[in-house]
Each structure stands twice: as structure tokens, then as C-alpha cells.
Structure 1
Amino acid sequence: MLVRRLLAAQLPELAGLPLARLDPAGSDNVIYRLGTELSVRLPRGEWAAGQPEKEARCLPRLAPHLPLAIPEPIALGSPTEGYPWHWSVSRWLPGSPPDIGGLPHPDQTAAELARFVAALHRIPADAALAPGPHNGFIGAPLARRDTETRVAIAETADVFDSSALTAIWDAALAAPPWPHPPVWVHGDLHPGNLLMADGRVSAVLDFGGLGVGDPACDALIAWTLLPASAREIFRAESGFDEDTWTRGRGYALCTGLNAYTAYAATNPRVAASTRHQITETVADFQRDGFRTAAPR
């Protein structure tokens, strides 16, 4: 097995521990549990190849400032044994992903996530640590996603209300850009990247999209997990202003459409979660009273 060979060659003191592949694994990484205290992550392709090095460099700097646990890198593996990219070993974090639509304490969850997001955005974006360009235009202006998003809206017109999706997208593009210096952003806050224990959020995972930019992308969790009542708590306590919230809703829409068009036909789990994400952006938009597209 590849992972066994990598461990034996580079971390022989860990090579004898029990090893079990996690399922479902992430879209960017294959993940194994190593013994009871560790995990191994291996990028699936070139698009994710820089993530282990970035996390090893940045996460120890961020962790002391955050109110929730995040992955603790233990070792950074090198390309070898027929595997072409860096890989990582991190401390195992206990818990399980939250149940969309079944949060035991949604208001509490919203407040916990808001405090995490606000704390991350307050950490000075150290130029020596900032990862620079990051995959998927995370933290970048939404206009870079305009063409692909409009194509996805047209492609899913038989599933979703294309006029409503267009109105949300137009409003997001029309919102003023982030007027302050770039901040640290997680970039991929969805339920699969959270752990919960005893009804509380216990950890935030997968910082492969970590970057610096517009904090609007970290509003994503509001539409991927939280019910409408808790969403308002998250919005208030995270400090997102109206323009950032509007851009965040556009980010939730475009990432939901991207995942839906890419995976829905082959992955029922992704289809269900992204359908929820998209329909929640529509409901939220309508509750805010934006019935027509904002002027371009």
C-alpha cells in the first residue's frame, strides 16, 4: 500500500500503527486514520498539491488566535515512492460532521461559528505567511466567476428558478468590493469541514483553501448549514456588513452551482447538500426583499 510505503520510508516510527481509509474522503485529499491519535492526508491531484505545505506553514501561526480547534500538523512528507506531491500527518480531531437540518442547538452553533470567523479575520495577514494565489478564486472578486456561474444557471434551469438565481448573482456582483486590506479566509466553510461533539462545534477542518482576500467567502456556512433564524445570529455576531453579506450569498450560490453541476449526477450526497445550499440562498434573498436583479 502506498501510504504504508511512504510512512516506512519517511516516518518509520509511525509505520506500524493501524491504518484505515476514511469514507467518504474529501474532493481534494484522500484521508486515512493512523492509529488513534493521527491522520494522514494525501492530495488527489496537482490542483491540491500545495495544500500540505501551506497548512504546515500557516496553521501553527493561526491556531493560538482561534476559539475552535483546527488541524495540528505533525509532519510534512515529501514526494517519493512513486507519489509526486507533499503529504501530511496531523493530530486526529474527534467529533463528527453536523447534520444539515438537524442541529441540536442552531443558535449556539451560529454563535460559535461567528466567533471563529471573526477571530480568523482579525489575525494580521502576515506577508511572510500569506499563501498568495489560492485555488478556486477563494477570496477573490466574484466577477472572476461570472461566466461559469451564468453558464451553470442556464444548465440547471430545469432544477432551479433561473430568474431568482440570476437576481442573486447580479446583486452580488453589484455590491461594492471589500474596501479594507485583505484578511485571512478559510475559504471553504461547509458542513463537511466541521466537527461537532456533545452538540457543540468542536473543530474546523481542511484549510486547503486558506488564503487572504475578501472575507465574504467565509459567510458560506450561513447557507450550507444554518437555518434562517440562526443565520441572523451568525450575521450579527460575525460582523459582516450588508455589502459583504450580499457578496457572501453570491459566493454561496456560485460554489453551490459549481459543485452541483460537477457532482450531482454521480454523487447523491453532494447533490442533496448543494441543492440545500442553492435553495437556501434563494429563500434568504427573497426574505431580504430583493425581488429583482440589482442594476449592473
Structure 2
Amino acid sequence: MSERDDTRAARAVLDEVNLAHGTRFRLLRRFDDGVQSGAWLLDGEDGRRAVLKWSPSRSWAGQIERAAGAVAKVRDAGYPTPEWLAVGTGTGGFGYQVQASVPGRSPDRVGAEEARLLVGLLETHTGLDPDPRRDWSRFVAEQMSGHPDGLRRQAAATGTAGRELVGVCAQLLAAYGPVALPTGDLVHGDFRPGNILLDAGRVSGVVDIEALGSGTRAFDYATLLSAEDLTPEAVRTLSDAGTRVAGPGVPAYCFVQVALDLTVFVHRHRLERGIRNLSTLAERAALLLSRAP
């Protein structure tokens, strides 16, 4: 979609938002480089800023609406994700949500201090359990026990780096055998540095949370470990913290799911930076393998 068409689509969605909710938000600009949906800065009639998120995938609309209740639940528990001001599905079948704008910016690089903040945040996921019917632990278990070959084949078909990663991941799965994944925690589902806002030495916001559910917070640790710009000290800190959740096998299993799925995703969308990061994923998988009994 061209930039002009992208803006036109966002304006159309916002027109429906304003009509459905009696609001008067004004579109300012897109301020992310999201692949699956855009984030657009809005100006309200009271001068306060907000953010419009909408998805061009009609199949995702139901999840956006479903997530609203879970977002309210975790916010009531003190979790720092912005308030959702409006949520719904437009006449074209596209899901949307408007959230409050909060101060802060995503870290360009996660070092020791950022890792400490993120571990502190991830530990607040413990027992939060926002949506037991959307269980990320069950999803990972099904992928790794019932359908792992399909994801492995797709990842291996992406090229040499993909095949090398699949090889290390296969060793990682074999090293631990069947693993029972705990549940009952909040799982963000895409817990990456780009979805975390920091301000004045604290986490000011957690965004892009539409996929949230229940499961084990080890999945979010594994997702964070797949990020590109982590210092070696940050990798050790996050890996150690993930292991403390339920032993080394749980984050290892979660990392295999995250890494293989990410490999397929970046190739499908031709994301060159992500494709270049596949060697880093293999290195992180090898690190987890080194901790196997």
C-alpha cells in the first residue's frame, strides 16, 4: 500500500471511530513502521494526544475487541499499558482501538539497566492471568508437540540461515524432551523493545498488546531474547531471569517457537533487518542449548 493510500485508509477508519464513539479525533501522522498494522498519532478536541491502531486483517478484529476486557483487567492491577479510549470493528470489517498517548520512547539498545527494568516489569506478569481461554502455553505446547515439523519446514525453506537455526532448535527440543509449560501469568505475546516505552528511568508504557493472553511469562522472556539489539550482559540477565521462572526447559521451548515463527515472518514480509538477525537467533538458541543438562 502506498503512503497516500495508507493515509487515506487510516482517515477512513478514524472517520468511523469518530462517528461510532462521538469523538472528534484528528489524524496527525503515522509514527511507526509496523508491518501488520499502523500506529497513528491523533489530536483530540481537548488537546490531548491519542494513538489509533487498526489492522487490515479482518480475522484479527475479533481479537482486538476481545482484548479490551483483558487490557482493562491488567490496567486495574497496575500494569502500565495505556488506557483504551475506543475499540470496535468498522463497516469494512477492520478492527481498531484508540489508546491514550503516554510519554516515553522505545530503547534503541537494551543494555544492563534496560534489562533490569524489563525483568522487573516481566515479573509483574506473575499470576495476572488476564484471559485463560487464550492460553499461550497451550499454543506453544501444541506447536512443539503436535505440529513442530510444519513450522520447521517453513523456516528451513527460507534459506541457509533458516536451516542452520532449525538445526540448533531441533537440538534444543531434543535436549529437554517433553516440557510441561506452566500457565496463569500475563503473556503480552510480542514483548519486544519496540513495544516498550521508557521515560525518566522507568517503564512508562507497554503497547501493541492486542495479542495478550494467559500462559507463562517465560514466553515473553523468550520473545525479548529474540530481539536484535541486546548487549551480552542484557542477554545473560534476561536468560537467567527466564530460567528462574520454571527451569531452563520452559524458556527453551518458548524460544524455539518464537525463533522459528519469526524466521518465517521476516521472510514472508521481506524484512531485511530481521533476515540479517537470523544468525543472532541461532546464537541465542545455542546459548540456551549450552544450559541443557
TM norm structure 1: 0.77
> Cα–Cα, structure 1 residues 173 and 75, in superposed 2: closer, same or farther, change >3 Å?
farther
| Amino acid of the structure 2 residue aligned with 1:273 | G
Matched, 1:222 2:225: yes
Q: Which residue is equivalent to 1:180? A: 182
How far off is 1:145 after superposition?
Answer: 5.0
Runs of 4+ in 1 over 6 A off after TM superposition: none
Aligned residues of 1:72 and 1:90 also touching (Cα < 8 A): yes
Q: Deviations over 1:244-283 (max 9, x none)?
A: 121132133212212222122xxxxx3213532x322322
Q: State yes or no: 1:3 paired with 2:13.
A: yes
Per the TM alignment, residue 141 of structure 1 is displaced from its structure 2 partner at its CA by 4.3
Distance 1:86 1:115 in 2: 32
Q: Is the 8 A contact 2:52 2:96 kept in 1?
A: yes
SS in 1 for 2:191: coil
What CA distance in whole angstroms lies between the structure 1 residues aligned with 2:51 and 2:180?
36
User: Shift of residue 64 of structure 1?
Assistant: 4.0
The CA distance in 2 between the partners of 1:204 and 1:138, in whole Å, is 23
Q: Which amino acid aligns with 2:236?
A: E
The answer to whether the 8 Å contact 2:186/2:214 transfers is yes
> Can you list the C-alpha shifts for 1:82-105, whole angstroms capped at 9, x where unaligned?
x32442221112222321xx34xx
The equivalences for 1:91-102 within 5 A come to 91-99=100-108, 102=109
Equivalent-residue separation in structure 2 for 1:211 and 1:261 (angstroms): 26
Cα 1:180/1:234, change in 2 over 3 Å: same
Q: Find the aligned partners of 1:54 and 1:154 in 2 and give their Cα distance.
A: 34
- Give the whole-Å Cα distance in 2 for the aligned partners of 1:39 and 1:131: 28
Runs of 5+ in structure 2 lacking a partner? 1-10
Superposition deviation, residue 18 in structure 1? 2.9
Aligned to 1:196: 198
Q: CA deviation digits over 1:28-84, x for unaligned, max 9?
A: 4333221142112222112321232123111121124356x212111223433xx32
User: Conserved in 1, the CA contact under 8 Å of 2:140 and 2:257?
Assistant: no
Matched, 1:46 2:46: no
SS at match of 1:169: helix
- Determine the structure 2 residue equivalent to 1:167: 168
Deviation of 1:200 after TM superposition, in Å, equals: 4.9
Please, which of 210, 224, 247 is the counterpart of residue 208 of structure 1?
A: 210
Q: TM-score, normalised by structure 2?
A: 0.78
Equivalenced residue count is: 272
Could you tell me which amino acid in structure 2 is paired with residue 39 of structure 1? V
Q: Secondary structure at the match of 1:196?
A: strand
> Residue 41 of structure 2 is aligned with which of 11, 20, 33?
33
- Quick check: 1:260–1:275 contact (8 Å CA) kept in 2? no
- Using the alignment, how far apart are the partners of 1:200 and 1:145 within structure 2? 40
> What CA deviation, in whole Å up to 9, does each residue of 1:165-198 have, x standing for no partner?
3122342365332353443311111233222334
Same amino acid, percent of matched pairs: 19
Output the amino acid matched with 2:116: A
Question: How far off its partner does 1:118 sit?
Answer: 1.9
Equivalent residue for 1:119, pick from 115, 124, 129: 124
SS in 1 for 2:190: coil
1:1-296 paired onto structure 2 within 5 Å: 1-12=11-22, 14-15=23-24, 17-35=25-43, 36-66=48-78, 69-80=80-91, 83-99=92-108, 102-103=109-110, 106-123=111-128, 125=129, 129-132=131-134, 137=139, 141-144=143-146, 146-158=148-160, 160=161, 162-172=163-173, 175=176, 176-198=178-200, 200-219=202-221, 220-224=223-227, 225-238=229-242, 239-240=244-245, 241-264=247-270, 270-276=271-277, 278-287=278-287, 290=290
Unaligned runs of 5+ in 1: 265-269
In 1, Cα distance between equivalents of 2:236 and 2:123? 15
